[in-house]
Amino acid sequence: YPAAASTPDATGQLPLNYALKIQTRLKVVALLLLACPAAASEIDEHRHLPLHYALENKAEPEVVEALLQVYPAAASTPDATGQLPLNYALKIQTRLKVVALLLLACPAAASEIDEHRHLPLHYALENKAEPEVVEALLQVYPAAAST
């Protein structure tokens, strides 16, 4: 029943969001995206995209890549509080491959100051990011070191 992938529950959540909240195996995400590619661009009542949920739940880089392939604009879409996906990644996980994918999709995110007056670099440093993550952020936005 392929239409199940595009059928929301009573709260408006699509199966893709369920998968990303509970488990983030690439095979499951790929099957759901194949059945309903539009799910990658669906914003829920919290102004979350599936990418936000994937990052909140420490998705593997391949899952993040699959979501961005289907909906690249997700990298530049803030949630209800104005947080971009790059900030999610740096607050919760700081894997270089995930950060690199997000920066590739939305380089401008490296220079976005949030409501706390934090740049993504601040979140990376707060969460003890690997030097390669800090380097990636500085390559995209060198002025972050003096902001």
Structure tokens at 5: 């992938």
Q: How confident is the model at residue 20 (pLDDT cuts 50, 70, 90)?
A: very high
Give pLDDT tens digits for 78-134.
999 899 999 999 998 779 999 999 999 999 999 999 999 999 999 999 999 999 999
pLDDT digits (tens, 9 = 90+) for 118-135: 999 999 999 999 999 999
Asked if 35 contacts 68 with a C-beta cutoff of 8 angstroms, the reply is: no
Give pTM, 2 decimals: 0.92
Asked whether the beta carbons of 57 and 28 are under 8 A apart, the reply is: no
pLDDT, residue 147, reads 79
Contact call for residues 145 and 120 (beta carbons, < 8 A): no
**pLDDT score of 23 more than 80:** no
